[in-house]
Amino acid sequence: MNEDKINIDLKIDNIRFPMLINESQKELYLNAVNLINNKLELYRARFKNHSTNELYCMVLLNFAINVLNAQNQENVQPVLGRLQELNKDLDNLLNKKTIIQ
């Protein structure tokens, strides 16, 4: 499927990034830029004596931690599903054993 591409100008901390993206992802990109700029302003207000590069690193670290936490949660979901299945199987076996006795 060939999606329509659009040109978009993204601005992160007064740095312009012209990009060509899928039209369906426009809101995703705009939301990402807002998230980055908001986090950057939060750190800029909280850590006034830090350089811009240090603030960028703090924002990157924050997002990297969020990505890793999300990946860990996704990795746990199949295990939790399997544990629930095993728990049901165990309940069924225990119920059958109780009925037989």
- Give the contacts of 91 (CB within 8 A, at least 6 positions apart): none
Per-residue confidence (pLDDT) for residue 41, from 0 to 100:
96
pTM over 0.85? The answer is: no
In whole angstroms, what is the distance from residue 44 CA to residue 46 CA?
A: 6
State residue 20 phi and psi, 5-degree precision. -110, 115
Q: What is the pLDDT along the chain (101 residues), one digit of tens a residue?
A: 567 999 999 999 999 999 999 999 999 999 999 999 999 999 999 999 999 999 999 999 999 999 998 888 877 777 778 778 888 877 777 777 656 55
Per-residue confidence (pLDDT) for residue 2, from 0 to 100:
66
- Give the contacts of 20 (CB within 8 A, at least 6 positions apart): 5, 6, 7, 8
